[in-house]
Structures are given as C-alpha cells and as structure tokens.
Amino acid sequence: MNGNIKLKTLITEKQIKQRVAALSREISAHYSGETLMIVGLLNGSFIFLADLVRQLNQYKLHLIVDFMRIYSYGSNTVTSGKPTLCQDVTIDVKGRHILIVDDILDTGHTIEYVIQYLSAFKPLSLRSCVCLDKTGRRQANVQADYVGFTIPDVFVVGYGLDYDGRFREIPDISILS
Ligand code: 5GP
Ligand code: MG
C-alpha cells in the first residue's frame, strides 16, 4: 500500500502516554495556580498538544489554547531553514505566561523564530515544550524547556508528524525509510 515506504517503531504509544503524563506533572508544578496560554504550532503539534492539555486538566492551573502556523518545510524531508508566519495567534499574549508547544525541535529555526516573534508582544514568561528533540541537528541557539524524548538524526512520522501530509494519525512514533 505504501510502495517502498517502510515504518519502524521508535517510540510506542505506551511510552508516549507515560512521558506526556510526566511532562504535564512538571509543567503544572511550574505554573501552579496560574493561567497558562498554550500556543501550539500547526500542523505537527495537534496530537501531542491534545494529549498534553487533557493531562494538564487534572492539575491546578487555568489553560488558554491557541495556535500559530509556521511554514518551514516543503513536501520533502529537508528543512528550508527559513520559517514564515502563515497564521498568527488570535489571543493577546501580552502579560501572559506562554508555553509554545511543538512536535519536534530539529534545526531550531522554527522555535527560535516563534520565540523572537512572541517576545515582541511582551508576554509575562515564554517557555517551550516539544515532544521530540533531535539535539544533533541543531543550528539555532535554542533549547526547549520541556522535552518528551531526545532522538537521533532520523526522520520520524506518526503522533502528529507527517511525511507529505501522511501518517499523522499513527499512534506510535516511527522512523520512515
Ligand atoms: P526546525 O525548524 O527545528 O528545523 O524544524 C521544526 C519542524 O520541522 C517541526 O515542527 C516539524 O514540522 C519538522 N520536522 C523536523 N524533523 C522532522 C521529522 O523527523 N519528521 C517530521 N515529520 N517533521 C520534522
Ligand atoms: Mg512543525
């Protein structure tokens, strides 16, 4: 069905579930009693973000959820390295605690761009949370405050991550080859 495309599981659904629960404990401890505005980066973050906010629901913090869309990839597996804003947040970030949520931190150009962009609107604080971190591929000088899993330099799909729009619905994170 997938032609020559092969998928090999890297992180299972069960591992993801446990890690998201741990991340939400960490996040809730930091923002306890506060209002936190989650800014998800579309499209890749949608499943991770949905799981994360439902875990955060059990803790003592108030959430606001909004999204941005940043374009940096074509339909291939090589980054263009130059992020462009396609869709802005619709809620004012000024004076709020902001947590940027993305699927994966790769070269870091996307998160670097979003941090610079949102900083200009004077949030009270600005942190980032990514499901995956390919530390070996970093070009920009950025780190995420919350990381689900550190992974090697492989192209992954599933759990919201796509290849040419496909495979986002797969519950595991798999290596594509
Ligand atoms: P960066 O700007 O950090 O290089 O890349 C961030 C974006 O590139 C991610 O939000 C994601 O959309 C895409 N990306 C980076 N690595 C992968 C990968 O292994 N698989 C998929 N599907 N997307 C990736
Ligand atoms: Mg993305």
Domain range annotation of the chain: 7-176
Bridge-based pairing state of the strands 146-150 and 125-133: parallel
**Tens of pLDDT along 15-67?**
999 999 999 999 999 999 999 999 999 999 999 999 999 999 999 899 999 99
d(CA 105, CA 111): 7
Residues annotated as catalytic (active site), given as ranges? 106
- In CATH, the number for domain 7-176 is 3.40.50.2020
d(CA 98, CA 125): 6
Residue whose CA lies nearest to ligand 1 atom number 23:
161
Strand stretches in 118-167, DSSP E: 125-133, 146-150, 156-157
pLDDT at 76 over 60: no
Residue 131 CA to ligand 1 center (angstroms) comes to 11
pLDDT value at residue 23: 98
* SS3 at position 133: strand
Q: Count the Cβ atoms, other than its own, within 10 Å of residue 30.
A: 16
Averaged pLDDT of the chain = 94
Q: Count the Cβ atoms, other than its own, within 10 Å of residue 135.
A: 14
pLDDT at 77 over 80: no
Mean pLDDT of 112-138: 97
| CA 77 vs CA 25, 46, 121: distances in Å | 33, 19, 32
Q: Count the Cβ atoms, other than its own, within 10 Å of residue 23.
A: 21
Mean pLDDT of 121-145: 97
d(CA 153, CA 122): 34
Identity (one letter) of the amino acid at 117? Y
This prediction has a pTM of 0.94
Instruction: Give the helix, strand, coil percentages of the chain, each rounded to 5.
Output: 25, 40, 40
Cβ of 24 closer than 6 Å to ligand 1, yes or no, is no
Counting ligand 1 atoms within 8 A of each CB, the residue from 7, 41, 69, 103 with the most, and so the one to mutate, is 103
